[in-house]
Amino acid sequence: MAVAGIICEYDPFHLGHLRQLDLLRAKLGPDTAVVAAMSGHFVQRGMPAAWDKFVRAEAAVAAGVDLVLELPLTGVLSSAEGFARAGVRLLDSLGLVDVLCFGAECGDAGALMDLAGRMETGAFRAALRQALDRGLSYAAARQQAAEDAAGLLSRPNNILGLEYCRALRALGSAMTPLAVARESDYHALAPDPAQPSATSLRAMLPGGGWQPYVPPAVARVLSPAPLYDLSYGERAVLARLRGMSVAQWQRCAHGSEGLWSKAWRASGQAATVAEWIGLVKSKRYPQTRIQRLLLCAYLGITQADLTRPVPYGRILACNDRGRRLLRQAKQTGSLPLVNAGAVPPDRDYFQLECRAADLFALLVEPNRLPCCGSERITPDQLKKKKK
């Protein structure tokens, strides 16, 4: 039996993700086991997930994933490079994943691995520095320095796939990359019937209409669950920003190159989160970085926190085959695996996770009461608490 790993957010799991599972099992065999390293309550674009991590993990298993592990929070809120490396390290640590599968516009893992190799050379780094010194944006400078004639670095899924390949090389992982061609627009606002973008489905929230674009089993899990959004807890976010000291802003993740100072000043002026983002963003920094800075400030995550290695793997959901994988991982793995609700070996990191979960709860939709302590109880106990 082959074991495939997928680094994902499933916000939400949609028909395009189901297609990836189908193509993966068509290539590797119908009995292929799938392990997902999934973002938790927050996602890499610097936003809270639309549903909490336990609900999204349950939906993923209902759709055919066998085991869902949580991507560590500090990896999720890192750059694309840090996000990819955290996911690859987590899956690789199990000692049983054969293939890393991801979507990419080019659908060619070999081309992305070749490009990843070119970007590790001294010649690439020198060319990148020269392009940046000429005033090019980082994205344009990187594409020019890589001599990316095929335009691989101009498409979002290719870029993330490239980071997965770079992480595989950097960590010396034995996992083989497998790219599944993704032809739909990652940022499309109108959902494609066969391969909708998660962006388009989130745009339908909370009004409804997204259900036909996800597998029926997923809709049954997600539909009754509460929604989360920054706008629902805007005053809590702004209160945190306004209460931060200059020293706290200086230590905040993603605040380097003086960006923290701009963010600190904006916190004393902005009346809304959108206004704060507008005051801080510039041509130099993509909006996703500003949003990650915002979340790290709200959650109290420092730049030093982002450099911490993955201390353990947290189990979010699994089926019978997933439980067999967990038993095997106890023999082959190099990282402790912790059930939801259990206290992990790294207490300091656990406290960071607990704080983030409790602050995430404040971003729940208005007709729901925010819970507290969700990281310290099992998903079943959490369900009872929310009723």
Measured distance CA(276)–CA(263) in Å, rounded? 8
The three-state (H, E, C) secondary structure of 159-210, written as one string: HHHHHHHHHHHHHCCCCEEEEEECCCCCCCCCCCCCCCCHHHHHHCCCCCCC
- Number of Cβ atoms within 10 Å of the Cβ of 354: 16
Binding site listing for ATP = 7-20, 103, 157, 182
Q: How far is CA 344 from CA 83, 228, 313, in A?
A: 22, 26, 9
Q: How far apart are alpha carbons 350 and 356 in whole angstroms?
A: 10
Query: 162: closest CA among 116, 121, 122?
Result: 116
What does residue 34 show for φ and ψ, rounded to 5 degrees? Answer: -120, 125
In the DSSP assignment, the letter for residue 334 is: S
**Residues at the annotated binding site?**
7-20, 103, 157, 182
Instruction: Note the Cα 335 to chain centre separation in Å.
Output: 20
The three-state secondary structure class of 315 is strand
Q: Strand, coil or helix: what is 296?
A: helix
Q: What are the CA-CA distances from residue 88 to residues 111, 225, 387 (Å)?
A: 19, 30, 36
Distance CA 168, CA 177 (A): 8
- Output the CA–CA distances (angstroms, integers) from residue 194 to 65, 191, 220, in the order listed: 19, 9, 19
∠ Cα 146 150 152 (to 5°): 70
Single out the residue of 145, 139, 90, 86 nearest to residue 120, CA to CA: 145
